[in-house]
Structure 1
């Protein structure tokens, strides 16, 4: 009897996985909550996992070019996180509004809101790309890069900063798909982008050197955007874009901006603190510490993105269930997702604590770089459970359209706690780069506890979008 039950359970699991990957239209405001979580989370996890695979593969090939190349990529991407922040902020707004309209059973209004978010994104892209192209070398210098790194990396930085449209649209359109509950489409578009990146990266690096990595990335992301646009305009999903939806609508744009600007600052605050910490590592530990930290951070991202996928599922479920006036179901969805995330992150934490050195040695054999990389991976990894819990709580608030509360939480925990703590430990106690590493899990733990408190207060249930 037990064997038969196990067979049925395994069969149900494979059925849910198959259903989630097909991308069939679902009503996430009814039925089993665990099933709803997995139907959304599986493609979201797979989507972001392949993106994280590319991040690791990219670092693998770039690392063969030497520590200057590693430092260039790390410093450039620390600045590009500002572009990511704007993209994620707009994506957060689009997800919240689209999910709310879908929950209200109004797909036309959802598509209209999605189209208006694209209009806003294109305007913002112009404001970011042009200065990035002009001042690429100066940006690397400001970030603390050596003269050699600036000489080798300016072209790479210029290509990456100048291609912000591909980053912006890839993130934003996937946010629109997620809000509509079509996580499978978001997964497929990012898979296309990442697979093309992975294939082209070694080829382009072979022929063009470091700038080849940037060329491959831009080409891959642009391919993903073209795939997204095809399905928005020609596809048969729940969302169908029409030309009239792009006529500037002050009311919808105002709603998008009201949600997006705190969400954007929320991530700018987080990424800005990372930029400060990245510079502090380079300043107190030198190029070897910076290179080790960048390798560790790529692995950190590799394992954090699946947890981010689960968190995105929580955001969609909150938005759609609030739209359907299912307040209790929205809360239950978040708590269940937080439980799943904590379990996953526990395994990752143990992996980093016990296998940090072998992981870093995959990317470099330089003993000094390995030592810094393994140490940072172990220290940062020690707080992984709290990262998982905090991410779900923050995304739940964002999915409800309450982007201001997480923004305040980020500002206090990153800039008033993490950055001062990092400087105190690194310079005041002379722990150097190790002090910076310690400040990261300390701040993330505080964020998780504060976000949990505000989620349990329940004011997010009253937000109107």
Structure 2
């Protein structure tokens, strides 16, 4: 029985590993920033957390929207229709550029909200200038996403990975030079981290375009665009898929952002601990995201071929692989919950010893809860990928809203602010919301695929 699923593991891993490494690259930018900024103090780490909370919300909309390109390209590739695949990329680039600029503008308008959020004043003052630069980096990031999703739609997952690795190396080097003022560069603190993020993301776009253009099999797709000829039909199709997909990602990222803000109400140490646990959880989440994109690609291909029995079997093999992987991550979080947070802070800093010790204790408690929601988080994101491959996006959007905002967030809010659980209570709410999402999304997938097989 299991062989029908396990025989797909090697191809699923081959397809998803470059995606996972590429997704980890986005998170690694934040990891590098957090670890380096954490050496400056807990207030600086909390400021980066607060600034990024705004950016994460906007980024979720942009990345979610761009995922509409992948199933369209995968279906066109399955049907051997090159023109439709190129059209999906061209119109996706136009929409992603407009969206990136719009989100940058929205963040600038929303900045004053920081003062109304009951966050520590020192944290807000540090976060303000940092946010300007990181918000602008969303424009190249979302344009990059259009190229990334297109490449993945053709089952070519390694090129976005290369671009992300190059960007990370540039970001780390610039962080080292500009945060601490090494080798004669100015010591800019968290502003240096923001500059590193912006420059690395601009170069990431240029690199992926160059690498795709230089490959003969991609040259047709990424050159000779006529941007004066925009087809309303293609625009409408991408928006019809992209807008609900962006809302799905927004609902999930927003509940984690809500956790950052709730932690800020509890103080800078609670916020710093939350940032550490969130950053570690984001790293493992990218494995689920990568497998979700593999599910989207393979389901999209089978949809193009009209083979629904194979579609269901292949998707379930990816679900099974994800379950096994997330159990491993849950064990790692349980075993390493005291050690991992120590990577983020200077434990020998005598001046900040009391703050750092409190942050380490709180972060370990949060990782205990995070260990359990690894499984729910991985399953829900991979099933969501399979549903996107089926181009079923509206009902899953409603499901994610119910799971995160009608079930999860009220629990986080109550347990975090009105019970002794405090930060741990916030994360218990996240666990409940993710579990509800995983169950309901799988029931949706099960219903749809059985219906398609019966015809």
SS at match of 1:243: coil
2:179 aligned partner: 205
State the distance in 1 between where 2:230 and 2:117 align.
38
Q: What is the CA deviation profile of residues 248-279 of structure 1, one whole-angstrom value per residue up to 9, with x for unaligned ones?
A: 11010000000011111112222222222221
2:246 aligned partner: 264
Which structure 2 residue ranges, 5 or more long, are not aligned?
A: 1-6, 181-186, 348-355
TM-score where L is the length of structure 2: 0.90
State the distance in 2 between where 1:149 and 1:427 align.
20
Query: What's the offset of the Cα at 1:150?
Result: 2.1
State the distance in 1 between where 2:116 and 2:57 align.
15
Work out whether 1:356 is the aligned partner of 2:337.
yes
2:319 aligned partner: 338
SS at match of 2:313: helix
**Aligned counterparts, 1:13-52, within 5 A:** 33-52=8-27
Query: Paired residue for 1:413, among 393, 396, 403?
Result: 403
State the distance in 1 between where 2:327 and 2:22 align.
21
SS at match of 2:204: helix
Q: What is the CA deviation profile of residues 223-255 of structure 1, one whole-angstrom value per residue up to 9, with x for unaligned ones?
A: 110012224444323462243453211010000
Structure 1 runs of 4+ aligned residues shifted over 4 Å read: 459-462
SS at match of 2:174: helix
State the distance in 2 between where 1:196 and 1:460 align.
48
State the distance in 1 between where 2:46 and 2:334 align.
25
8 Å contact 2:129–2:191 — kept in the other structure? yes
Q: What is the CA deviation profile of residues 57-88 of structure 1, one whole-angstrom value per residue up to 9, with x for unaligned ones?
A: 22110101111211111112111122212222
Work out whether 1:169 is the aligned partner of 2:126.
no
Query: Paired residue for 1:389, among 358, 379, 392?
Result: 379
Between Structure 1 and Structure 2, how many residues are aligned? 430
8 Å contact 2:51–2:128 — kept in the other structure? no
Work out whether 1:192 is the aligned partner of 2:166.
yes
State the distance in 2 between where 1:389 and 1:432 align.
27
1:399 aligned partner: 389
State the distance in 2 between where 1:461 and 1:400 align.
12
Query: Paired residue for 1:309, among 277, 290, 302?
Result: 290
Work out whether 1:374 is the aligned partner of 2:364.
yes
Query: Paired residue for 1:214, among 186, 194, 207?
Result: 194
8 Å contact 1:87–1:172 — kept in the other structure? no
Distance change >3 Å, CA 144–CA 163, structure 1 → 2? farther
State the distance in 2 between where 1:125 and 1:387 align.
27
Distance change >3 Å, CA 144–CA 110, structure 1 → 2? farther
2:205 aligned partner: 225
Query: What's the offset of the Cα at 1:442?
Result: 1.5
TM-score where L is the length of structure 1: 0.88
Query: Paired residue for 2:309, among 313, 318, 328?
Result: 328
Which structure 1 residue ranges, 5 or more long, are not aligned?
A: 1-31
2:69 aligned partner: 94
Q: What is the CA deviation profile of residues 1-32 of structure 1, one whole-angstrom value per residue up to 9, with x for unaligned ones?
A: xxxxxxxxxxxxxxxxxxxxxxxxxxxxxxx7
State the distance in 1 between where 2:324 and 2:226 align.
42
Distance change >3 Å, CA 329–CA 140, structure 1 → 2? same
Give the RMSD, CA atoms, in angstroms.
2.0
State the distance in 2 between where 1:322 and 1:263 align.
18
